[in-house]
Amino acid sequence: MNKLPIRRTGFTLIELLVVIAIIAVLIGLLVPAVQKVREAANRMSCQNNMKQIGLGLQNYQSQMGFFPGCSINTATTNKVTLANGRLMGVTVSNVSHNWAVMILPFIEQEPLFRQYNFALTWTDAANQAVRETTVKTFVCPTTPRQGNGWNTFLSGTATVNVAPGDYAPDYAYSALLETNGLADTCASRNGVMTTNITRPISVISDGTSNTILISETAGRPDSWATGRLLTPATQTDGGWCDPNHAYITHGYSADGVTTTDGGPCHTNCSNNNEVYSFHSGGASHVFADGSVRFVQNSMDIRQFVKLITYMGGDVGPSN
């Protein structure tokens, strides 16, 4: 009696290897796509944060009559110098505060604002709870963090921790850029938000849509250069509540490690007090009209610095 052939119910080794290879190829194709989708979502979230900041600044200046300075420092004077003669409520000596604290009520952070004591300097123990609070509006989700991302340093004998912040005023540019032939000489190198000066929107003669208020300067206190994490981290001014969080554009070398002022790179070469983001090709900025626009790092630095000044007589590129 002939026996029926036994039917195979499994895979041969070759078939299994082929299936595994196909799955590996599909994963290889899908992972970059998933990463791109995730980054697109993070970039959109980052820009939404900056839109909230832009709206907060607009509402602040609408109520107060001026934009906040990037910081207040009353170490040598009892009152803050204001462009339009109005005081900001700080009339005590030896205090220092930054712009982000001032706009907290305008970005739906009224309870946190009420905890902050402007009569005491920002590093005082009374302001510890505020400065150690992470405010999501000030953090870009694309930014990688080492540890908790806190900025830690000594103030006298006290250890000060500050929650991270990825956005700050880029309020001027280095004179060496003009010396090195990388910037045209203009009437003023200053931006709108400078220390101890508040300016009404009416003084922005270069146009609100051509003037940057806030830029990305992400990743601090960690040190980054052209996408590389440098060790050890040497920065001490990356906290959202830190008055030293603001910066000027110095211009770096293309490798991001040359610290001498006056290089041709303005974006994504170094986060050492320069414009820096973890988005490919450029960084986002809040303009004085409240808009948020992405500026490519390929823009000539001669054109980029024209976007920083508010009355330089040097209207920047429309794109």
Domain ranges (residues) in the chain: 22-319
DSSP state of 276: B
C-alpha 11/C-alpha 198 separation (Å) is: 75
Structure tokens at 137: 């509006």
How would you classify the pairing of strands 292-296 and 151-155? unpaired
Structure tokens at 118: 């402007």
How big is the chain, counted in residues?
Answer: 319
DSSP state of 234: -
C-alpha 33/C-alpha 100 separation (Å) is: 36
Identify the pLDDT of residue 84: 41
C-alpha 40/C-alpha 306 separation (Å) is: 28
Yes or no: say if 171 and 191 are a contact pair by the CB < 8 Å rule: yes
**Residues paired with 230 in a beta bridge:** 223
Identify the pLDDT of residue 87: 44
Would you call the peptide bond into 221 cis, given omega within 30 degrees of 0 as the criterion? Answer: yes
**Where residue 312 falls among pLDDT bands split at 50, 70, 90?**
confident
Identify the pLDDT of residue 203: 93
C-alpha 104/C-alpha 160 separation (Å) is: 21
* Mean pLDDT (whole number) for 201-209: 92
* Mean pLDDT (whole number) for 199-221: 93
Identify the pLDDT of residue 149: 76
| Locus of tokens 């420092």 | 73
**Where residue 30 falls among pLDDT bands split at 50, 70, 90?**
low
Structure tokens at 287: 């303009």
**Residues paired with 161 in a beta bridge:** 152
* Mean pLDDT (whole number) for 282-299: 95
- Asked if residue 4 has pLDDT above 70, the reply is no
Average pLDDT over the chain, rounded to an integer = 83
Identify the pLDDT of residue 264: 92
* Mean pLDDT (whole number) for 52-64: 93
Calculate the alpha carbon distances from 39 to 42, 44, 239, 273 in Å. Answer: 5, 8, 24, 24
Identify the pLDDT of residue 190: 92
**Where residue 170 falls among pLDDT bands split at 50, 70, 90?**
very high
C-alpha 178/C-alpha 174 separation (Å) is: 8
* Mean pLDDT (whole number) for 155-177: 89
Identify the pLDDT of residue 11: 62
Identify the pLDDT of residue 297: 92
Upper half-sphere CA count for residue 72 (Cβ side, 13 Å): 32
Low-confidence winner among 66-75, 87-96, 189-198 (lowest mean pLDDT): 87-96
Identify the pLDDT of residue 1: 54
C-alpha 8/C-alpha 2 separation (Å) is: 18
Low-confidence winner among 9-23, 100-114, 195-209, 254-268 (lowest mean pLDDT): 9-23
What type of residue is 262? G
**Residues paired with 229 in a beta bridge:** 224
Structure tokens at 182: 């990388």
Identify the pLDDT of residue 146: 75
